[in-house]
Amino acid sequence: MNMNQKQKKWLSICLSAFLLIGIYPPWNYVVYPTLGMENVETIRIIRAAGYHLIFTSPSLDRKVLGTLFGNNGTGIFEVEIDLTRLAIHLVIMLIVAALGTLIFKTDDS
């Protein structure tokens, strides 16, 4: 398939967007509350932590997290990449890239 200049430019823009999505993924704060329970792993509370560089995860400030989760900073705190939101972003970007490529198609290409 031969692509015209507009299509090539569009795909290079989309490739840049893919890289940015991968470098700045969405993160989650996760807490396992410890309230005298034996099996702490059964309760898992998740809150969005925003977008951060892949090499540096969001900070775990217990005071802020305690306010966010409403438990005064007690429990086991973790951060993790939100794979669901990341997958949704990548699928939407694929659709946008494909549609843009079709829109910029001309009769001679």
* Mean pLDDT within 11-15: 95
What secondary structure does DSSP assign to 32-54, as a single string?
A: E--SS-S-GGG--EEEEEEE--T
* Mean pLDDT within 74-103: 91
Asked if 54 and 22 touch (Cβ cutoff 8 Å), the reply is yes
At residue 57, the pLDDT reads 84
Say which range, 24-28, 39-43, 83-87, has the weakest mean pLDDT.
Answer: 39-43
When the pLDDT of each residue in the chain is averaged and rounded to a whole number, the result is: 83
* Mean pLDDT within 61-75: 65
At residue 24, the pLDDT reads 95
At residue 19, the pLDDT reads 95
